[in-house]
Amino acid sequence: MSTTVETRTFYPRRGRVSQRHETALESLYPEFGVPAAPVDNRALFGRDHDVVLEIGSGMGESTLVMAQADPERDYIAVEVHPPGIGNLLALIEEHSLTNLRVHDGDGIQLLTDHVPDGALSEIRVFFPDPWPKARHHKRRIIRPGYVALMRSKLRPGGVLRCATDWVDYAEVMLEVLSADPGLRNRFAAEAPRPDWRPVTKFEQRAVDAGRRITDLCFDRIA
């Protein structure tokens, strides 16, 4: 039975869907999409390799680059906004990429209902909505209950990576992740920025505006 996630962690933006993206959504999602059903690695990818799940892949360009550079692992990108989903589907076809699939929906819902415990080697939450107003902090995705959920879906030794350009959210992320008894910070505090993560337009705008980027990297130990 499906479990409803009552507190939404994303803002349902309305963006224009181009004809290219609309065509990709209609014709390519049946082939490259991850259905709202138990995740089966062999059915999705034709093999049983380690799986990386990215929550919030945006327009998908950086996700494509990361998956291309890491062919020995399989990737599931989770996104809720149609233009981003359509764009990534089109990119997968254009580049004939076999180790990347896309899920149209809420990442927390997917983890709750369809990802078996211990199934993932890595979860990435890069630049989630910071929900800066205090009354909206309950919507932030990095909070104790959701972190415990993510940790449960990682195999022992699996990795949870986060990044944000909001200083106060970075402090909260570090506090929440450090408090989880089944996670261990790989570094003393912040993690160095990984060279393999492409700088997106969003991240570059944050840097240009003078906002500091914080990366965090935690391993599952229990």
Please give the average per-residue pLDDT across 207-216, as a whole number. 96
- Residue 5 in this model has a pLDDT that exceeds 60: no
- Say how far apart CA 5 and CA 1 lie, in whole Å: 13
Determine contact, residues 117/182, Cβ cutoff 8 Å.
no
Is the pLDDT reported for residue 1 higher than 50? no
Cα–Cα distance for residue pair 87/78, rounded to 1 Å:
13
Positions marked catalytic: 129
Q: Rounded to whole angstroms, what are the CA distances from 89 to 86, 95, 156?
A: 5, 10, 31
Taking 60 as the threshold, does the pLDDT of residue 6 lie above it?
no
Q: Tell me the average pLDDT of the chain.
A: 92
Using CA atoms, how far apart are residues 164 and 140, in angstroms rounded to an integer?
Answer: 12
**Report field, pTM of the whole predicted structure over 0.85:** yes
**For 192-206, what is the mean pLDDT?**
94
Residue ranges of E strands in 91-170: 100-104, 120-126, 154-164
CATH 3.40.50.150, applies to 33-220: yes
pLDDT digits (tens, 9 = 90+) for 13-25: 555 667 777 888 8
The answer to whether residue 8 scores a pLDDT higher than 90 is no
What span, in angstroms and rounded, lies between the C-alpha atoms of 108 and 66? 22
